[in-house]
Amino acid sequence: MARAKQTLPRNLAILVVVVGLGVQIVTTCYKKSDTTPSTKQQPPSTASTATPNQTGTIHLEMGIPTGGDGEPSYLLKRKQYALSYNGTKNVPNWVSYHLNASYFGTVERKQGQFMPDPDLPPQFYKVRHQDYSNSGFDRGHMVRSEERTATREDNDATFYTTNLLPQRHDLNAGPWLRLEEFCQFLAVRKKKELYIICGGIFPKNYQTIGKQNNIAVPSHCFKIIVVLESGQGVRDVNENTTVIAAIMPNVEGIKKEQWRQYQTTVDEIEQQTGYDFLTAVPQKIQEAIERRIATSLVAMAQ
Ligand code: MN
Ligand code: MN
């Protein structure tokens, strides 16, 4: 009896501590979700595909492109996208990224300048915002700012200069933008799962811009969009999968043009860039989807 009386207050004390901790944890969680406006969004990194691929990032779900021009390049993977950076041209060879509705949120476009990429190895020239100033070219996002608006961090990551190509304004604000808007329509309105690869095509004697004249200007920009249903990944790609491909000239005077007139095949992009794309797709399926110009889904584009 005496023992029981003694242990009762101790039990009570433990109970109070446990309940107290519980309240604290609940409060912390509540505060976190309360101050983060994007908690309704799924975290974009693992999104909805079931199995992680061998590259360790959803942004390379269709495989790492192989080939290219053999110039020194660096494979850069970050939470928001993956890219191959060309140390001679000082632009990306290609940028590869996953897109679905979860990446679109309410974060506002980053204010201010583009940032040199801190994740580039030291031997690479770090392109600065000013390198594009008065060049006659826009700072053309590859991963579009609007496509990473779930968190502040995500949007900021599109403003690294490694995510840029020099684009003529009429391309950037014309058919290129309209194809970006069509991707947004497919992702947000049609709930599609998109796997996008884009970049530049360079002639032998390409133009350069920049304070050190070391940033290559592409003659054309390309974009490949693998369109899958919600939750699908590379294992779901088959001979009937829609793959949208486009090559657009990097020129003025095309602002009013529709993107569909620049539709082409992945085969054509592979021939002009020297890359093999969609390398994680079985060879026989690649052959089927890379030679075709997409028609069914694209009919929805205005
Ligand atoms: Mn743009
Ligand atoms: Mn291929």
Mean pLDDT to the nearest integer, 273-284: 98
Q: 302 pLDDT band (50/70/90 cuts)?
A: low
3-state SS of the chain is: CHHHHHHHHHHHHHHHHHHHHHHHHHHHHHHHHHHCCCCCCCCCCCCCCCCCCCCCCHHHCCCCCEECCCCCEEEEEECCEEEEEECCCCEEEEEEEEECHHHCCCCCCCCCCCECCCCCCCCCCCCCHHHHCCCCCEEEECCCHHHCCCCHHHHHHCCEHHHEEEECHHHHCCHHHHHHHHHHHHHHHCCCEEEEEEEEECCCCCCEECCCCCEECCCEEEEEEEEECCCCCHHHCCCCCEEEEEEEECCCCCCCCCHHHHECCHHHHHHHHCEECCCCCCHHHHHHHHCCCCCCHHHHCC
Catalytic residue among 59, 98, 141, 220: 141
The per-residue pLDDT for range 67-93, each reduced to its tens digit, is 998 999 999 999 999 999 999 999 999
* Cα 265 to ligand 2 centroid, rounded to whole Å: 11
The per-residue pLDDT for range 199-225, each reduced to its tens digit, is 999 999 999 999 999 999 999 999 999
Mean pLDDT to the nearest integer, 88-99: 98
* Cα 299 to ligand 1 centroid, rounded to whole Å: 23
* Cα 249 to ligand 2 centroid, rounded to whole Å: 22
Mark whether 98 is an active-site residue.
Answer: no
Ligand nearest to the CA of 65: 2
Ligand nearest to the CA of 109: 1
The per-residue pLDDT for range 34-62, each reduced to its tens digit, is 333 343 444 444 444 556 789 999 999 99
What pLDDT sits at residue 276?
A: 98
